[in-house]
Chains A and B, each alone.
Chain A
Amino acid sequence: ELQLLESGGGLVQPGGSLRLSCAASGFTFSSFAMSWVRQTPGKGLEWVSGISGSDGSADYADSVKGRFTISRDNSKNTLYLQMSSLRADDTAVYYCAKGAFLAVPGRIDIWGQGTMVTVSS
């Protein structure tokens, strides 16, 4: 069964750092792009970052560029999101999402259950 399991969320102070992980199973991880999408409590979805399945090329939303870094370890079937200089408006549920193709612009077809990140003093 195809599964995405996020971990690493929690409470962090403004200006702090946090690393999210997403363990994938049930598919050939290296063959597909992966993304992080976040959802502010009670609000809509916002794409954060995506990484291709092959060469690891990455794209970022302007709101996180320079502060967040996406990476993947295909040998461990795991996706990461390193978040630094965190701000209150980064507070959200962060979803790991699988792309349908190697490249990030391919459609997103599977979503994890999400992990909550709260930035507060």
Chain B
Amino acid sequence: QSVLTQPPSASGTPGQRVTISCSGSSSNIGSNYVHWYQQLPGRAPRALIYNNHQRPSGVPDRFSGSKSGTSASLAISGLRSEDEADYYCAGWDDSLSGWVFGGGTKLTVV
């Protein structure tokens, strides 16, 4: 049972826009930044969105993030087959004094 809650799966067709939600609480998302990581099959995670909505260099602007209260979301527009991956939200939890992750959302491009 992950501290942050994500839907286990999402899907879309090429060119479509999909969103992935992440729900937390006042001790994590509600009081700290949310970060998103992409994990391609068989690969290590890589940073996709940081500080709620910032993109590291090299990440296409098709990826965007937002946060409101104790929830956050990742949006992917212009969906491509190479976007098929697992997506994880993460944040620092002040009560646990540690990083917490969502359970991950497996994105399928059909």
A interface residues, Cβ below 8 angstroms from B: 35, 37, 44-47, 50, 59-62, 95, 100, 105, 107-114
B interface residues, Cβ below 8 angstroms from A: 2, 32-33, 35, 37, 44-47, 50-51, 56, 88, 90, 92, 96-104
- Given the known interface contacts A44-B2, A44-B88, A45-B88, the answer about A109 and B101 at a Cβ–Cβ threshold of 8 Å is no
Chain B residue nearest to A4 (CB atoms) is B44
Pairwise interchain contact B44-A113, C-beta atoms closer than 8 A: yes
Measured in the bound complex, the distance between the Cα atoms of B56 and A57 in whole Å is 27
Pairwise interchain contact B101-A46, C-beta atoms closer than 8 A: yes
Task: Tell me, rounded to whole Å, the shortest Cβ–Cβ distance linking B23 to chain A.
Answer: 15
Measured in the bound complex, the distance between the Cα atoms of B46 and A37 in whole Å is 13
Q: Hey, which chain A residues are within 8 Å of B47, CB to CB?
A: 107-110
Which single member of B2, B56, B99 contacts A109 (CB below 8 Å)?
A: B56
Q: Hey, which chain A residues are within 8 Å of B99, CB to CB?
A: 35, 37, 47, 50, 108
Q: Hey, which chain B residues are within 8 Å of A62, CB to CB?
A: 96
Which single member of A50, A59, A100, A114 contacts B44 (CB below 8 Å)?
A: A114
Pairwise interchain contact A44-B104, C-beta atoms closer than 8 A: yes
Q: Hey, which chain A residues are within 8 Å of B97, CB to CB?
A: 59
Indicate the member of A60, A95, A100, A105 with the most B CB atoms within 10 Å. A105
- Given the known interface contacts A44-B102, A45-B101, A107-B33, the answer about A95 and B51 at a Cβ–Cβ threshold of 8 Å is no
